[in-house]
Structure 1
Amino acid sequence: MHVRIGEAGKRRGAIQIDLARAACAGTRLLQRAGEGDQAVANAQRLDARLRGDAGIDRPAMNDEIGRAHAASRERGQRGLSKRTTAPAHVTPLLGQFAHQAGGLEQRQAGSDGQMLCAGGWALGTWLTDESMPATASLMEQEARETPAVAARLLGHRDDLARLGERLRALAPRYALALGRGSSDAAALLAKYLFELRLGVPTVSAAPSVLSIYGRRLALERALLLVISQSGRSPDLVEFCRAAAGPEVLRVALLNEPSAPLAGAVDTCLPLEAGQEKSVAATKSCLAAMLLAFALAAYWRADRDAIVAFERAPDALGKALAQDWSAGEDFFAADGSVYVIGRGPGLAIAAEAALKLKETMGLHAEAVSAAEIRHGPLALAGPRLRVVIFAARDAAFESLRQLGDELAQLGCPLLFISPQPALSPLHVAPDAEPVLEHLAMLLRFYVLASAGALRRGRSPDAPPLLRKITETR
């Protein structure tokens, strides 16, 4: 059973009883790893604080997580040795170790391990936030919650499996995907995933066809995927209500399952992002992208992709540990920026370009690596900065060659990839390119927040923008 934990639960909204289990696991892992008296004291203090809030008896937890302690001892020691060069913040290690224990426990003991894994990431997020400088933005804090959000999404695997069966039975001839802002970038990723992995033609729906021009679409044997953080935009609600038709399945990815949009669709999957206060969306967008990936995986019954979905919390957590300080000055000056991707990477580029506009006040344009040669290349030169997102998929080599060409033309270049030899700004490689893309975007969010602050702007409250925008 999950319950909120006092004021911490009110503040975070997503920190649950799992935290006490994670704190207990982390304490013993730190002791076994020989971290030292101060680290153990910090862990025990937090453990006691959480248990006091939750009313949990520590001895009752020991049996539940005993297997995780033993199994993760060696892994915890390796993780500790890799962190010795990091700043001397002890408490974030507790969440990392608790996550490691949870990851192993999840494979051994199902739902109990899932709770511990989610709790470990939530605890790590909370601790990291408490040890952050006071200048850390809400945007950065919320972005750092993403691994915990991904862990919570694993709790919906049964829902995804049932939805996958339903889609295989329906066999849609085409799909429509729609969203606004960051949700539109998630919808673009869904388009590429549905087409590349399922062969289902997918188009971006235009709600204005109905809300402004009054024209209903004739839909039949189709999937309608709508993505929204708030679920309150009248044009999206109206479009979904009008989209009923023979064998039309309307699916919503929502952060607020009680929002009006939920009543206009056939089924909802929650983003599990919790409250998001910064105007610049981070964790909710990545949650939508990860759910779109999971939906394609379960629809196709792709075991490898499902396993990749299950390791997403770990992949995203590793991204946050990467040092991207080499890119901190890249956005200091004014001027235009091209953000380039190909295939699923174009969705990442679209979201990153939006963040540069919102947070830094820079003119940024997402450009397909193919389309750049059909006009945009004419602007290449020293005054045009370029960011390229390149996961290790079929487009990687062409993106690398394009980066070399743009650099030769004088463009300042950030080439972001899982290849350290090519990219000072890199993430850990993964067998699933989509996870590489999501990891790059998550780490880019933190970079964008820092860049906005360096430019004297608030990434949390950009001028002229609001968190919830209700379009008609």
Structure 2
Amino acid sequence: MRETQMGREIAQQPQAVRDTLDALIPLRDRIAATYAGRRQVLFVARGSSDNAAIYGRYLLETHSGVLAGLVSPSVATHYGAKLDLSDALVVSVSQSGQTEEIVQTQQWAKDCGAATIAVANVPDSPLLAAADLGLLTQAGPELAVPATKTYVSQTVAMAVLGTALSGDPSAYDDELATIPDEIQRLLAERAGVPEAVAALRDSAYAVVSGRGLLMGTALETALKLEETCLRPVRGYSYADLRHGPISVVTGGMSAVLVSAADGPMSTPMIELAQDLDARGATTVGIGGNAQFADAVDVAVAGPRLTEALSPIASIVPAQLIVESLALSLGLDPDNPRGLAKVTATDPD
């Protein structure tokens, strides 16, 4: 297969993670100081950035004891709602730092009394400039339209944020330091990637599911499959899939399941794989443990990381699948049809 810009940027992720950790870990005290006196964290984002924010939300609530949620930007930009956010830290996440809707929503949050932190990959972007504290990720310029290294760098920022607001900020530092090498291993081995591409290439429809800390990874996988490979794909949480949509799963469909190797969601994901298999779907599993690998039709190796940090690297095998699948379908993964690098939404 030909070399792509997307592939080159996927390969740059070990260094992007290393550089982002080096840049952001020293800012933990400032993150904590910005949050001081607040009771909740609210995230503002769109697209891939929103999927990174979902990881941040779960990490804060499950490991830092901090109430977190997602803000709908239209509440600010279209409805102009007047809310009391004096107890909130609002974290705006944007690859470019210049998506106008996100910039406006951050200013709205400030006007409503919130403290603000911005996460972006472009120095001197308006989002970073206007925030109380800017977290500049270190992915470097990203030329392919699909977000890869910028997304992974955003998840690193979420991990730094989560640990900064925990009772023991350095508790995960040793494991964080292993992530670049884990990503490098996944890139070199590509275990299960060709088989996953073959399974998805012949499928007319696919669903992607995960739960808990891996929910954002599942939604990002679905987004990348849909926008880059131009296939109808739905991303569901495990619970949402169980509450009805699973009834339409039949033979000829594919299901991509994303799981961590440990944690309270590992067993339910195994049970979901078995259920989908019984309904005739072709199941592709990313990550998980040995029992999960045995339960799916195609097992794709994931990172050797605990559930708390697994989302930083679990997306990498999915990225490899998406790039290879797009090429096998005769598509250009660098410039998917109808997409632009900076998100544009409806004007006010």
TM-score w.r.t. length of structure 1: 0.68
Q: Which has the higher contact order (CA 8 A, sep 6+)?
A: 2
Secondary structure of residue in 1 paired with 2:317: helix
Matched, 1:291 2:160: no
Secondary structure of residue in 2 paired with 1:328: helix
Q: Counterparts of 2:283 and 2:70 in 1: how far apart (Å)?
A: 30
* Alignment partner of 1:429 out of 297, 304, 313: 304
Alpha carbons 1:386, 1:414 under 8 Å: kept: yes
| Deviation for aligned residue 1:164 | 4.2
**1:259 alignment partner in structure 2:** 125
* Alignment partner of 1:187 out of 34, 53, 60: 53
**2:334 alignment partner in structure 1:** 460
Q: Counterparts of 2:204 and 2:45 in 1: how far apart (Å)?
A: 28
After superposition, the C-alpha distances for 1:382-428 in whole angstroms (9 at most, x for unaligned) are 13210110102210011001101110111110122243564331124
| Deviation for aligned residue 1:247 | 6.5
Alpha carbons 2:34, 2:133 under 8 Å: kept: no
Change (3 A) 1:334 1:325: closer
**1:374 alignment partner in structure 2:** 243
Change (3 A) 1:361 1:157: closer
Q: Counterparts of 2:291 and 2:195 in 1: how far apart (Å)?
A: 14
**1:352 alignment partner in structure 2:** 221
**1:401 alignment partner in structure 2:** 271
Secondary structure of residue in 1 paired with 2:96: coil
Change (3 A) 1:236 1:157: closer
Alpha carbons 2:213, 2:307 under 8 Å: kept: no
Alignment of 1:307-318 (within 5 A): 307-318=174-185
* Alignment partner of 2:210 out of 325, 341, 349: 341
Secondary structure of residue in 1 paired with 2:171: helix
Q: Counterparts of 1:415 and 1:305 in 2: how far apart (Å)?
A: 26
Q: Normalized per residue, which structure has more helix?
A: 1
Partner letter of residue 449 of structure 1? E
After superposition, the C-alpha distances for 1:279-329 in whole angstroms (9 at most, x for unaligned) are 110000010011101211122134332222222212221221222222120
Secondary structure of residue in 1 paired with 2:118: strand
Secondary structure of residue in 1 paired with 2:281: coil
* Alignment partner of 1:411 out of 253, 262, 281: 281
Q: Counterparts of 1:433 and 1:449 in 2: how far apart (Å)?
A: 25
Secondary structure of residue in 1 paired with 2:208: strand
Q: Counterparts of 2:283 and 2:153 in 1: how far apart (Å)?
A: 28
Alpha carbons 1:250, 1:267 under 8 Å: kept: yes
How many residue pairs were aligned? 337
Question: What stretches of structure 2 of length at least 5 have no aligned partner?
Answer: 294-298
| Deviation for aligned residue 1:154 | 2.6
Matched, 1:199 2:62: no
Partner letter of residue 204 of structure 1? L
**1:21 alignment partner in structure 2:** none
Question: What stretches of structure 1 of length at least 5 have no aligned partner?
Answer: 1-132
Matched, 1:153 2:33: no
Partner letter of residue 118 of structure 2? A
Partner letter of residue 451 of structure 1? L
Alignment of 1:158-169 (within 5 A): 158-167=25-34
Change (3 A) 1:162 1:240: same
Displaced runs of 4+ in structure 1, greater than 4 A?
Answer: none
Partner letter of residue 461 of structure 1? N
Q: Counterparts of 1:200 and 1:315 in 2: how far apart (Å)?
A: 28
| Deviation for aligned residue 1:179 | 0.9
Alpha carbons 2:249, 2:279 under 8 Å: kept: yes
Partner letter of residue 279 of structure 1? V
Partner letter of residue 312 of structure 2? L
Alignment of 1:53-452 (within 5 A): 135-167=2-34, 170-244=36-110, 248-300=114-166, 301-322=168-189, 323=191, 324-391=193-260, 392-420=262-290, 422-423=292-293, 424-430=299-305, 432-452=306-326
Q: Counterparts of 1:201 and 1:398 in 2: how far apart (Å)?
A: 25
Alpha carbons 1:348, 1:441 under 8 Å: kept: yes
Q: Normalized per residue, which structure has more strand?
A: 2
Partner letter of residue 363 of structure 1? P
Task: After superposing the two structures, state which structure 1 stretch, 348-357 or 462-471, moved more.
Answer: 462-471
Q: Counterparts of 1:311 and 1:247 in 2: how far apart (Å)?
A: 38
Bigger radius of gyration, 1 or 2? 1
After superposition, the C-alpha distances for 1:256-276 in whole angstroms (9 at most, x for unaligned) are 121111232111111111111
Partner letter of residue 287 of structure 1? S
Give percent identity, aligned residues only.
27
Cα RMSD for the two superposed structures: 1.8
Q: Counterparts of 1:244 and 1:164 in 2: how far apart (Å)?
A: 16
TM-score w.r.t. length of structure 2: 0.91
Q: Counterparts of 2:291 and 2:76 in 1: how far apart (Å)?
A: 50
| Deviation for aligned residue 1:438 | 2.8
Change (3 A) 1:163 1:352: same
Alpha carbons 1:149, 1:283 under 8 Å: kept: yes
